[in-house]
């Protein structure tokens, strides 16, 4: 015979209270774990934002330097090749081409 809720009213109420207490403990534990993980989530989010901002700034700065270099490079090459220091530039280039690096000295022929 199956017992009904009317025959054992105290036991069913106790079971319901115990189940609610367990659920409440689990919910409380979950909330505490989420709150404990919140600083970690904020830290990771800020790190990502900082990396993105620095990467964007580095790209912009690289574009600026490249544009300045591209603007002045033809004039500098023209000055070196046709100016008074053309002979000196050729001498330095030849000397650099003949130079032996320290690493080449370590490797036997």
Pairwise CA distance, residues 42 & 34, whole Å = 12
Q: What mean pLDDT do residues 31-40 have?
A: 90
Number of H helices, E strands in the chain: 3, 0
The whole-number pLDDT of residue 106 equals: 62
Pairwise CA distance, residues 28 & 31, whole Å = 5
From residue 42, alpha-carbon distances to 27, 31, 52, 109 in Å are: 22, 17, 15, 59
For residue 30, pLDDT over 90 is answered with yes
pTM metric for this prediction? 0.42
Percent of all residues in the chain with a pLDDT value above 70, rounded to a whole number: 69
Q: What mean pLDDT do residues 70-88 have?
A: 72
Average pLDDT, the chain: 78
Residue 4 belongs to some domain of the structure: no
* Domain carrying residue 65: 9-106
C-alpha dihedral, 11 to 13 to 15 to 20, nearest 10° = -170
Sequence-distant (≥ 6) Cβ neighbours of residue 96 within 8 angstroms = none
Q: How far apart are the first and last CA of the chain?
A: 101
For residue 78, pLDDT over 50 is answered with yes
The pair of three-digit structure tokens given for residue 42, joined into one six-digit string? 């904020």
Residue 90 belongs to some domain of the structure: yes
Residue 44 belongs to some domain of the structure: yes
Residue 42 belongs to some domain of the structure: yes
The whole-number pLDDT of residue 98 equals: 74
Split into its structural domains, the chain has a count of: 1
Residue 3 belongs to some domain of the structure: no
């Amino acid at each position: 015979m199956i017992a009904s809720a009317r025959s054992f009213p105290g036991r069913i109420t106790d079971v319901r209270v115990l189940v609610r207490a367990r659920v409440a403990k689990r919910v409380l534990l979950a909330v505490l774990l989420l709150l404990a993980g919140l600083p970690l989530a904020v830290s990771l989010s800020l790190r990502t934002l900082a990396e993105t901002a620095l990467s964007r700034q580095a790209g912009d700065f690289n574009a600026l330097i490249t544009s300045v270099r591209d603007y002045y490079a033809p004039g500098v090459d023209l000055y070196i090749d046709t100016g008074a220091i053309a002979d000196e530039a050729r001498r330095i280039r030849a000397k650099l081409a003949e130079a032996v690096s320290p690493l080449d000295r370590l490797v036997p022929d």
